[in-house]
Amino acid sequence: MREILGRRRRLRFWREKRPAHLDAALLCAGAWRWPVLPGVGLKAAGGRGARERGCACPDPDCVVPGAHPFDPGLLAASTDARMIRWWWGNRPDAPVLLATGGRAPCAVSLPAVAGARALGELDRREMRLGPVIATPTRWSLLVAPYTLERLGDLLYAKDCVPSSLRFHGEGGYLVLPPSETGTGQVRWERAPLAGSATPWLPDVEAVVDALVAASTSAPDGGSRLRY
């Protein structure tokens, strides 16, 4: 009986202390059915567990330190809880990456300063938005899945699209909170509603239309989304 009780205490302690990255990955994959995988992460700097901002991948000039797939590759993204527990059991601080496209969310992203301006303008227009991910350098507005063909048709129909926009669709990925990358902490600027079965996502056309309108409505004739 003592051994059983001791084992139960250890299991309860592990659940209470379970890393936040694993919890986030299991929530995305299990409750929301978003395929995830661990990012490469940052390399240890040595000395009291400190980290330098270099990427753990072999490229010394990596332009997205810590914030990309490496091993496993992007095609390994999964919703399998056993695989996810194994990945983050071995690397508990690994960034959580979402493989975008297919049935998973896609995104429209802007530089952080432009993203803050855009959200303020869209709020004034009472535009309903889904979750928004913020890093020190870029903000990403999650949208419903779209195909590259549909995105191409949508952009072709526009007279002008802000050059600061990036699109994350099939074959892409996003870094999810509470990951840390070489640019800093990843967080929810607009978090999914607590208790929701699956986060609601707006249509990409509605978001792009609103962003284009917000961009071209600056009083001086410039763009509100410049940076």
Residue 60 lies in a domain: yes
What's the rounded Cα separation, in Å, for the pair 210 and 96?
Answer: 29
Residue 221 lies in a domain: no
Residue 6 lies in a domain: no
Residue 9 lies in a domain: no
Instruction: Note down the domain range covering 33.
Output: 19-215
Which residue is associated with the tokens 């996003």?
174
What's the rounded Cα separation, in Å, for the pair 107 and 133?
Answer: 10
DSSP 8-state assignment for residue 171: T
Please answer whether residues 103 and 109 qualify as being in contact, where contact means their C-beta atoms are separated by less than 8 angstroms: no
Q: In total, how many domains does the chain have?
A: 1
pLDDT (tens place) for every residue of the chain, 227 residues total: 444 445 555 445 444 445 899 999 999 999 999 999 999 999 876 544 444 568 999 999 999 999 999 999 999 999 999 999 999 999 999 999 999 999 999 999 999 999 998 999 899 989 999 999 999 999 999 999 999 999 999 999 988 888 889 999 999 999 999 999 999 999 999 999 877 688 999 999 999 999 988 877 555 555 555 54
Please answer whether residues 142 and 132 qualify as being in contact, where contact means their C-beta atoms are separated by less than 8 angstroms: yes
Residue 145 lies in a domain: yes
SS3 224: coil
Residue 223 lies in a domain: no
What's the rounded Cα separation, in Å, for the pair 137 and 130?
Answer: 20
What's the rounded Cα separation, in Å, for the pair 30 and 25?
Answer: 8
Residue 46 lies in a domain: yes
CB atoms within 10 A of CB 108: 23
Residue 14 lies in a domain: no
Structure tokens of 125?
Answer: 């227009």
